Copies of this chain bind each other. A is one copy, B any other.
Amino acid sequence: MWDRFLRACRCEPVDATPVWFMRQAGRYMAEYRKLREKHTLLDICRAPELALEVTLQPLRAFEVDAAILFADILLPLEPMGAPFEFAAGEGPVIHAPVRDRAAVERLRLFEPEEGLPHVLQAIRLLRRELEGKTPLIGFAGAPFTLASYLVEGGKSSHFMRVKRFMYDEPEAFGELMHKLAEVVRRYLHAQIAAGAQAVQLFDSWVGCLSPRDYTEHVLPHVRHVLASVAEAGVPIIHFGTDTGALLELQREAGGSVIGVDWRTPLDAARRRLGDGVALQGNLDPILLFAPRPLLERRVDEVLAAAPRTGHVFNLGHGILPETNPDAVRFVAERVHRVTSR
C-alpha cells in the first residue's frame, strides 16, 4: 500500500504501520557522506538534482513509507536577510543575530518561488520520481524554533537570549514571530503547491518553554500558520521535543498528527489527546545503537503502546550521524512485520 503513511496521518486503516525517520537522509549513510566530500550541506540544499539524489538514498536502502525533502529548517533565514553558515562541529552560526526591534524590522518577507526556488524545484523533481510509489513530506521550522536560532545566533543550552527578548520586548518578539509565521505559512503552502503530499512543522526547541509562555507567545502564531496550511488539505505533522507538558496546547494549535518524543509514552499521549488526532513517534534515537534483541523489544513496546489506527512510527528526534544504517533497516522491517494485518 503506497499511501499507508498518508492514510495513517488521517487515522484511516492501513495494511501495516507506516515508518519513516527524521533525518533519514544524512551523515549516517555512506552514500550521503560520499556526496558531502564534494558538496557542502548548503550546496546540496541549493542544487535540486543533489537534493533529489540525497532524498532518494534512504528510499533505496530501507523500507520507509515516506520521503522527506532533504533541506534544512534554517533555509528561509537567508532570503529573510539573516544569512548563516554551518561552522565545522558547531552547528549553525547566524552572522548577525536578531536582538532588537530594528533587527526584526529589517527582516524581509519573501515569496518562496523567488527566495527558495531550488527547494520547490527539488519537490517537483521528487514528485515526478516518486509518483504513486512513495509520498513526499515537505517541512519547515516552526516560528519559535526559528526565532531561537535567530536570536541566540546558533544552538543554545539555556535559550536565555530568546527568552529574554520575549520577556523584555514582547511586542518586538511578537513582530518577529509574526514575520516568521508568515514566512513559514507561505513556504509550506508553496511546498504543497509544488507537490508535497504532507508537511511537518518542526518546533524542535519549543519544549524549553513553560505552558504559560507557550500559550502567550507561541500558540497564536502556530495556530495562524496551521489553520491556513490546513486549507490545502494535506496532513500536517506538528512535532516538538521535551513537549510532555505542551501536548494539549500543541494539539490546540493545530496539526493532524502530533509528533511525540520518547519521554512521553504513546498510550499516555493518546489518553491526553483523544483519538481525533494521529500520533508520530517515538523511539529514542539512541536505541538504534543498542544490541539487536533490545532494539527489537523496544520497537515492539512502542508499537504496543501506539494506537492501532493513526500511528506513524518514527524516532522521537532525528537519526544521529554515528548511527549504523543496519539498525535503521532493521527497525523499518520490524515495524512492518509486527503490524502487518
Contacts and interface: CB of A to CB of B under 8 A. Distances in A.
B263 A211 contact: yes
Interface string A226-258: 000000000000000010111000000000000
A72 interface: no
A286 interface: yes
A167 interface: yes
Nearest to A210: B262
B284 A210 contact: yes
Copies of this chain present = 2
Interface stretch (A130-138, A143-151, A156-164): A156-164
Contacts of A105: none
A168 interface: yes
A301 interface: yes
B265 A212 contact: yes
Contacts of A158: 285-286, 320
Interface residues of A, number: 35
A86 interface: no
Contacts of A287: 167
A212 B299 CA distance: 12
A294 interface: yes
Contacts of A294: 167
B245 A264 contact: yes
Contacts of A213: 284
